[in-house]
Amino acid sequence: MTRLEAIQADITTVEVDVIVNAANSSLMGGGGVDGAIHQAGGPAILAECKEIVARQGPLPPGEAVITTAGNLPARHVVHTVGPIWGTVPANEAVDLLASCYRSSLDLGREASLRSIAFPNISTGVYRFPKPLAADTAVAAVRQWHDHFPRAFDTVLFVCFGPDNLRLYQELLAD
């Protein structure tokens, strides 16, 4: 049975098989979670990201790619691009955000990884409303899990602050 749990932590310190990066489409690092992952993981992550972008171009919102984790305690990083709130209709933004979670889970499953940790994708500078983002994330993971119930042992929602942690804990308690 897969354990779904919310914790408050710095995602760069979480010991799982794969952490998910809330990346921008260039995959070159940035602020927030993206910058922290690139900084803590070191140059190996950026080098792989550059190769991916050279091969396929910028990563569109809702899609994901996987790289090494460099110096991080995780084994891999899945980079996914969330939607920027207000740039597309709300229903499309929700669909794109859900796709971020499904695409990330798909890559982890394909790589036979057993534990995955998600940040709160799109809720920082991309301004996705936190309650809607949490609801979308938990629903997407639960729906995906219904199709692949044995794919992961652990799915973590890693919240940087206590407000997001409460949102996820309430949703996971249902």
Active-site amino acid positions: 34
CA distance 172 to 112: 25
The continuous run of DSSP H or E covering 106 comes out as helix 90-110
CB 20 within 8 A of CB 78: yes
Calculate the CA 117 to chain-centre distance: 7
CB 134 within 8 A of CB 168: yes
The continuous run of DSSP H or E covering 173 comes out as helix 162-173
